[in-house]
Amino acid sequence: MTAPVVYKVGGPALEDPALLGPLAAEVKRASGPVVLVHGGGRQVNRLLEALAIESRFIEGRRVTSPEAMEVVEMVLSGLANKALAAGLTTAGVLAAGISCRDAGLVMARLEPNLGRVGLPETVRPALVQALWAAGIVPVVSPVASTEDGASVNVNADEAALGLARSLGASALVYLSDVDGVRIGDSAVSSLTAREAEARITDGTIAGGMVLKVRVALEAARSIPQVVIAGRARLEGRFAGTTITAEEVRS
């Protein structure tokens, strides 16, 4: 089998119905079987706010109380997951929505001081492979389980990396609300580890992009192609920023 391609879908690619057709076309062009892992942070934020449940972040990760975890799972594994799978199917890509909890797809370990937040620890890709065998594209919510079966909030970028490694992916594409990593006034076509660390240190790369870039750099150590991209990629205007794992030297 040709090596698969993993997409992490967030931002406009997840929320704008007009981009479902271009996203489906991107999936059809992929060189191998595809799995999509999605986020949905803004939808989660809206429901948490409506329910008066506190929402805060530490270094790009949502601090998740048990009450917030119920909302996270409801939105990500429910509304966002099923809408994306149905939209892709309507656009001509047969897709099925699952979560990292299904068939033990991703087991996670809890991170300290963040509540129900975890990092991928074990990936069992049998369910993804079964869907591929049936000609179906898996659309995956990043909500995972701990070893005792409880739900845990996993950052979608990190869930996508865990799946990409387990599946031996040839490419990992992060589609978000930016068209790439911006240095100055525009997104750059490529970024090395040395350049990334320098731009993080001087504050050029900041906020949630710091975690995204660090995860992408980690991915580039074992995955041949890693890209941070957005709407412009789907519209054929800019393919995104290719991340390379050049070692940082002192």
What is the per-residue DSSP string for the chain?
Answer: -PPPEEEEE-THHHH-GGGHHHHHHHHHH-SS-EEEEE--HHHHHHHHHHTT----EETTEE-B-HHHHHHHHHIIIIIIHHHHHHHHHHTT--EEEEETTGGG-EEEEEPTTSBSEEEEEEE-THHHHHHHHTT-EEEEE--EE-TTS-EEEE-HHHHHHHHHHHHT-SEEEEE-SSSS-EETTEE-SEEEHHHHHHHHHTTSS-THHHHHHHHHHHHHTTSSEEEEE-HHHHTTS---EEEE-PPP--
Catalytic residue list contains 202: no
| Residue of 115, 157, 162, 180 with catalytic role | 157
Catalytic residue list contains 82: no
| Residue of 97, 162, 212, 230 with catalytic role | 212
Q: Measured between alpha carbons, how far is 235 from 119 in angstroms, rounded to an integer?
A: 33
| Residue of 8, 39, 40, 230 with catalytic role | 8
| Residue of 11, 40, 118, 230 with catalytic role | 11
Q: Of 98, 210, 195, whose CA–CA distance to 157 is shortest?
A: 210
Catalytic residue list contains 41: yes
| Residue of 41, 118, 180, 230 with catalytic role | 41
Catalytic residue list contains 28: no
Catalytic residue list contains 11: yes
Residues recognised as catalytic: 8, 11, 41, 157, 212
